[in-house]
Structure formats: C-alpha cells, structure tokens
C-alpha cells in the first residue's frame, strides 16, 4: 500500500512561510504584496478561482484587487486596464483569468501583461525564457506537480518519467521541469501506441489526460510516484484520471483528487506574487 | 543496407523554389528580400556562417548586408544598430551570429531583435510562441532535422521518437516539432540510465550529443530513421555522433556528416527570410 501525497499539507507549509514573510514585512513598515485578479464575463471556473485567490490573500495578509468585468467590455478598455496595472507600483502580480470571452483576442491581451507581474506565466516572453531553462514565472499547475514529486523525497535525476498529455498548461511545462531535474522524459498523448507498456516503465508518472479513472494498476510500475492532474466532474464529484483504489496498491506514492495537485496551485500563485513583490520592495 | 538521406539534394530543392519565387518578384517589380547578418568579433564559426549566408543570398538573388563589428564595440552601438535594422523597411531578416563576445549581454541583445525579423528564432518572444505550438520562427537546425525525416516519406504520427540531447538549439525544439507531428517523444541526455535500451525502441532517433561515432548499430532498432546532428572535429575532419558504416546496415535511413543536417540549415535561414519578406511585400 503506497503513501498518499497530501497536497493540503504541502500547501499549508507554503502558506505558513508566506504569512511569516508578510508579517515580518509589516513589522518593518513595508507595504504588503498586492495581486490584481481580472475576471471577464461569467465563466464559473474563473469566478471560483478569483474568489479563492481573494480568500487566500486575505488570510495571508496580501492585498487583492478583484476586478470583475462585463463580457461585453470593449477590448480597448481591457487593454487600458492592463497597462494601468503594469504601471501601478503598488500592484505586484496580475492574474488574468482565462479563457476570455471569444470576442476578445486572448493571445494579444495576455501578452500585454508585464513579464515581471505575469505571476501565472501566461506571456510568450516568460514562456520563451522558461523553455530556454532560464528563470521565469512558470504556470502554477506544473509547479505544483514538481513540488508534490519532490515532497516524496525521491531523487528525480536519471529516473524515467512519463507525462501523459502535451498541453501548454500542463504536459509541456511539466516535461521541461522534469528535464531540468535530469529525468529522462517521455511525452505521451492520444496518438501514442501501446501507452500501457510505456507507462509500465515509468518511475514517475504524471497523468493529465482528462479521462476519469482511465489509469489503473495495469499501467503502473511497482513503486512508482504517480501524480494525477485530471479533474473531471463525474456525478457531481471531482474525479482524477487515476483509479485511486487500484493504483494505491502498487504505487509508492499517489496524489488524490481532490486534495492533490489542485490544493497547491493557488498557494503557488500567491508565492509567485510574493516573489515579484520582493524584487519591488527589497 | 539503408538509404542515405542526402541533405544537399533536399537543400537544392528548396533553393530552386526560393530562386523561382525571387525571379518572379523581380519580374513584377517588387524589391527582393534582404538578410542582415551581424558578426561581432573574430569567432571563426560565425565568420564562416556569415560568408556562407552571403554566398547563398548572392546565388539566389537576395540582398545581404554583412556587418562585421569589432569585438570591442560599445554595447550601446550594437543596440542602436539592431534598432535601426528593426525599423528599416528594406531589411526582412536579422541574423545575429552567436556566441557574442563575453563583454556583451547576449540574452538582452538578442531579445531586441524584432520578432518579425528574427529569422533564426533567437528571441524569447518567438520561443514562447513556438513552445505554445503557435506559428513562429524556429531555429534552422531543428527545422532541418524535421525536413530530413519527412523526406524519407515516413508517417511520423504515433511513432516512437528518441532525442538524445536537450539543448535549447537542438534537443528541446526538435522534441517540440516531433510532438507537433504526433510522435511519442523521449528526451535522453547525459543522466539517462540504459540509453541503449531506450534507443533500441526508437522508430526515429535524433542524435545531438557531441560524441564522435558514439552511436553504433547496437543502439538502433531495425528499420529506424536516424538523424545525426553531431559535428565534432576529428583529425581535422568533421565527424558525426553516429558510426555511419555500422548503423547504415540496420537503419532504414541515415543522414551522413557532412552532407546531412548542416547542408540544409543556411538554406532554411534564407527560406525564413523570404517568409518574413512575403509578409512585408505582398
């Protein structure tokens, strides 16, 4: 029986460090970090995440400017808002919730965010730096995956890692981060032949395919670390891509859904905001 | 006995198409494309490549502005030059030969090149777009690798591809390009354990490790397509990473060194310059 990797405990550890850092800054008379969150339209996920960010900012002592805009907003006004936030010295991080409504040019607009305030790593500028192996803001989900793997104490160097999924927000950046840690990385996807035998060879398996409970124990090498990035809704409940009850018997470590990857991401966004703030304040 | 993939023939095919395109533009009274090549200092490789670019521009009917600068140039003057070339409507492509002398901030300077004239894909902006799977200028060596694989007629989708090397100029972009074509891609490097068994499973093997003749037939799956990106100098001769005489007996297709990947790169730089020019002229 493997160990459950508890995302909530990991997040709690980060939160305590952030809180301590901000308490210290306040005691020294510095201004506290500020995250600006922009939601355009009525996307349920975006509103949910924005509210979570606000709650966590409140809890840890950061300022949060939550800006909710009508779906019908003129593109020019949104651009103007981003430019104002870029130039505002009291704002450290800008989180533009995507997807934007279809009438807005998402790529062009996200690229207007100052790379120094782009705390979710949305801009091409930060992406380019990241894939060259340079310091840059990295989207929070792949960062969460890496923190969860490292929390097991595994030495990643030289291990066989398999990533299922090649999306811009999970598969590709996770691949890059695993390479940075000297894993041998195989990227699989819908066109991969004999997925099972590839996975069976994985010391580290990161699953981001969006197929509820697709990966059972027949895909797992004994003792593997398995990270489940899937979040499908099944019968009103959030469900991962991994069949937890079967895989926990053969993996050495496995993340639950919920309570795994997703439990850490908002905290990492706040952590990125604090890193941007440190450069502005200290 | 496998087939030799002839880079020179592939390059010749591209050259003829470029020449025809430019002849047609001239006959219509359009201005011809112009590539500006900047060399700073006395790096032998940089001067060699710059001269090759000039020769090929002359041959195909493009303009070439070769700019040779002293190693001691003031950074501000180099920055000014790039800004002037960015704004010059008669220049379509800017090729800054790297590495720059150590006293210059290479990263900052390359990022000043207009992304629309960055025909060798050096800027973070183009890198960011590229890794998101969007249209962008891609460095010419990985593009050459892909053209050589495709020239064999192989259907890449679903194939197992193994890339040895994870550099920013070869391994990482080749991985991305193979994923774009729906290959299952494994990235190997110096820390990979049991490289041989990983390679033995490759339908497509791209080798960029910089170890002369390291890969012999014991690494090759029968019928594999093998692309050798290595260019080491051994006893005054250019030599690849693949032991050609042994591997040609088991691979279905193999690139020679010289005469393989390197034979196509300069032509692809000119091709990129023409693509930039098309957008400006048509």
Q: What is the pLDDT of residues A247-261, one digit of tens each?
A: 999 999 999 999 999
For the cut 80, the answer to whether the pLDDT of residue B282 exceeds it is no
Query: Helices (DSSP H) in B132-261: which residue ranges?
Result: 140-150, 171-180, 195-199, 244-247
Is residue A76 pLDDT above 90, yes or no? Answer: yes
What pLDDT, in 10s, does the model give residues B40-71? 999 988 999 999 999 999 999 999 999 999 99
What does the pLDDT look like over A210-264, one tens digit per residue?
999 999 999 999 999 999 999 998 999 999 999 999 999 999 999 999 999 999 9
Q: What whole-number distance in Å separates Cα of residue B226 and Cα of residue B28? A: 43
Q: How open is the CA angle A42-A46-A49, to the nearest 5 degrees?
A: 140
Over its C-alpha atoms, chain B yields an Rg (Å, rounded) of 19
pLDDT the model gives residue B281? 79
Between CA B110 and CA B189 the distance in angstroms is: 27
The pLDDT, as a whole number, for residue A40 is 97
- pLDDT value, residue A153: 97
Handedness of CA B141, B143, B146, B150 (dihedral sign): negative
The two structure tokens encoding residue A2: 């493997």
Inter-chain CB proximity A133 and B193 less than 8 Å: no
Q: Which among A185, B118, A57, B144 has a CA at the least distance from the CA of B127?
A: B118
A135 touches chain B (CB under 8 A): no
Strands B232-234 vs B204-207: parallel, antiparallel or unpaired: unpaired
**A265 CB within 8 Å of a chain B CB:** no
Q: Which residue has the tokens 């937890």?
A: A244
Q: Does residue A123 belong to the interface with chain B, where contact is any CB pair within 8 Å?
A: yes
**A123/B127 CB distance under 8 A:** no
Would you state the pLDDT for residue B280?
Answer: 78
Give pLDDT, residue B279: 86
Residue A138 CA to chain centroid, in angstroms? 8
Q: How confident is the model over B76-130, as pLDDT tens digits?
A: 999 999 999 999 999 999 999 999 999 999 999 999 999 999 999 999 999 999 9
Q: With the C-alpha atoms ordered B41, B46, B51, B56, is the resulting torsion angle positive or negative?
A: negative
**A174 vs A171, A183, A269, CA distance in Å?**
5, 11, 16
The region that residue B276 occupies, defined by phi over 0 for left and psi between -120 and 50 for alpha, beta otherwise, is: alpha
Instruction: Determine how β-strand B237-239 pairs with β-strand B232-234.
Output: antiparallel
CB contact under 8 A, A129 and B124: yes
Q: Distance from first CA to last CA of chain A, Å, rounded?
A: 47
Average pLDDT rounded to a whole number, residues A267-274:
97
pLDDT at B227: 98
Question: Which pLDDT band, with edges at 50, 70 and 90, does A280 fall under?
Answer: confident
- Set out the domains of chain A in order of their start, with CATH numbers: 29-116 (3.40.50.10860), 140-262 (3.40.50.720)
pLDDT surpasses 90 at B264: yes
- Decide if pLDDT at A281 tops 90: no
**What band does B34 get if pLDDT is binned at 50, 70 and 90?**
very high
Chain B residues within an 8 Å CB radius of A131:
127-128, 131, 168, 172
Residues in chain B: 282
Comparing CA positions, the residue from B61, B67, B66, B68 lying closest to residue B33 is B61
Cβ of A132 and B125 within 8 Å? no
Quick check: A85 pLDDT over 90?
yes
- What is the average pLDDT value for chain A, to the nearest integer? 96
CA distances from B273 to A25, A26, B23 (A): 52, 54, 15
Contacts of B125 in chain A (CB under 8 A): 124-125, 128
Q: What is the mean pLDDT of chain B?
A: 96
Q: Does the ipTM exceed 0.85? A: yes
């Amino acid at each position: 029986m493997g160990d459950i990797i508890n995302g909530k405990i990991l997040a709690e550890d980060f939160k305590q460090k952030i809180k301590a850092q901000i308490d210290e800054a306040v005691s020294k008379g510095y201004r506290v970090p500020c995250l600006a969150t922009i939601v355009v339209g009525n996307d349920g996920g975006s509103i949910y995440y924005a509210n979570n960010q606000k709650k966590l900012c409140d809890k840890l002592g950061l300022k949060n400017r939550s800006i909710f805009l009508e779906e019908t907003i003129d593109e020019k006004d949104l651009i103007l808002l981003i430019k104002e936030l870029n130039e505002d010295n009291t704002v450290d991080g800008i989180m533009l919730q995507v997807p934007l409504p279809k009438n807005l040019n998402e790529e062009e607009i996200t690229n207007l965010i100052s790379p120094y305030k782009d705390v979710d790593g949305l801009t091409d500028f930060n992406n380019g730096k990241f894939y060259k192996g340079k310091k840059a803001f990295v989207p929070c989900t792949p960062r969460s995956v890496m923190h969860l793997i490292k929390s097991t104490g595994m030495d990643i160097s030289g291990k066989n890692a398999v990533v299922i999924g090649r999306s811009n927000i999970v598969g590709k950046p996770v691949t890059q981060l695993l390479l940075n840690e000297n894993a041998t990385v195989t990227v699989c996807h819908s066109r991969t032949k004999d997925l099972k035998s590839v996975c069976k060879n994985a010391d580290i398996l990161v699953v981001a395919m969006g197929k509820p409970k697709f990966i059972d124990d027949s895909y797992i090498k004994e003792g593997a670390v398995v990270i489940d990035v899937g979040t499908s809704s099944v019968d009103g409940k959030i469900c991962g891509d991994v069949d937890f009850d079967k895989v926990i018997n053969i993996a050495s470590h496995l993340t639950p859904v919920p309570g795994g990857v997703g439990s850490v991401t908002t905290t990492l966004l706040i952590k990125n905001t604090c890193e941007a703030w440190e450069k502005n304040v200290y």
